[in-house]
């Protein structure tokens, strides 16, 4: 291993720069090279030095312009230069960020790297909204799952285990497959009336929210035409959203019948 670590896998959090750790903020500003994902908020990219080399390696559904093995090679190549390199990932590097694969590739090539954790989207969005991920009498646990598979293969999730009314389910990157996800959860026993909240561009000025239920969320999300990252919170804790003191007027309610006085849309 090299004596001095010059490669850092940094969690950029859910989007709000104020939610960065102190260490993440410092490294982003000091970095000589920043290799960043598509989901890193532009507000955070503004912290990068204008003199730093920026390399965009973002992926999206069915489009992977820089495959993972190429990202690994980039990290190794920059590690060889000795320049302070930040691999910047939305949320936390080890929560659906493939950070562990990149760390392993670096270490196998003889380079040390340091992991700088970030607030993952589930924590950041739920806290900002005021919905607890667990709540006595509503949810005894929480599970995070990814809504798409490697190389866009068919989803192969533990549907029986996920369809648990006592568990809050948080789906990352699920926009393309939310129809299948909701159908399978209903098939395995989760009621169609299970509350769902979709959060688009969470914790940023572009945040949008969509409150629906499991039977209607796919059609409602399609109608909303979200742009950017979407997180789906599924479970009975979403019922607390109406009582949340942090609930703003930026919520859309589509796909379910609700009293008019509860519907607030912010363009």
The H-or-E segment that residue 185 falls in is helix 178-187
What are the backbone angles phi and psi of residue 261, rounded to the nearest 5°? -70, -15
CB of 141 closer than 8 Å to CB of 134: yes
d(CA 249, CA 267): 10
Phi and psi at 187, nearest 5°, equal -55, -35
CA 1 remoteness from chain centre: 32
List alpha helices for 14-129, DSSP H: 22-30, 42-45, 68-81, 99-108, 121-129
| Residue closest to 264 by CA, chosen among 254, 256, 252 | 252
85-123 burial, b at 16+ Cβ within 10 Å, e below that, comes to bbbbbbbbbbbbbbbeebbebbeeeebebebbbbbbbbb
Catalytic residue positions, numbered = 37, 59, 173
């Amino acid at each position: 291993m090299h004596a001095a670590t010059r490669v850092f896998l940094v969690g950029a959090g859910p989007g709000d720069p104020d939610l960065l750790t102190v260490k993440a903020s410092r490294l982003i500003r000091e970095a000589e090279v920043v290799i960043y994902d598509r989901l890193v908020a532009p507000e955070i990219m503004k912290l990068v030095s204008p003199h730093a080399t920026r390399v965009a390696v973002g992926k999206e559904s069915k489009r992977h312009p820089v495959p993972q093995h190429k990202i690994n090679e980039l990290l190794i190549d920059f590690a060889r230069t000795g320049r302070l390199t930040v691999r910047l990932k939305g949320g936390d590097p080890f929560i659906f960020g493939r950070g562990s694969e990149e760390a392993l590739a670096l270490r196998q090539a003889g380079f040390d790297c340091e992991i700088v954790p970030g607030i993952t989207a589930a924590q950041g969005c739920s806290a900002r909204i005021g919905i607890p991920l667990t709540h006595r009498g509503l949810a005894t646990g929480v599970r995070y799952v990814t809504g798409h598979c490697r190389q866009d293969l068919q989803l192969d999730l533990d549907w029986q285990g996920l369809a648990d009314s006592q568990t809050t389910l948080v789906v990352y990157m699920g926009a393309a497959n939310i129809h299948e996800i909701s159908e399978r959860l209903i098939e395995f026993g989760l009621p169609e009336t299970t509350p769902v909240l979709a959060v688009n561009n969470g914790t940023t000025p572009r945040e949008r929210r969509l409150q629906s239920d499991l039977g209607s969320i796919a059609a409602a999300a399609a109608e909303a035409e979200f742009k950017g990252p979407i997180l789906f919170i599924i479970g009975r804790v979403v019922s607390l959203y109406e009582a949340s003191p942090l609930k703003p007027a930026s919520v859309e309610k589509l796909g379910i019948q609700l009293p008019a006085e509860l519907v607030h849309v912010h363009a």
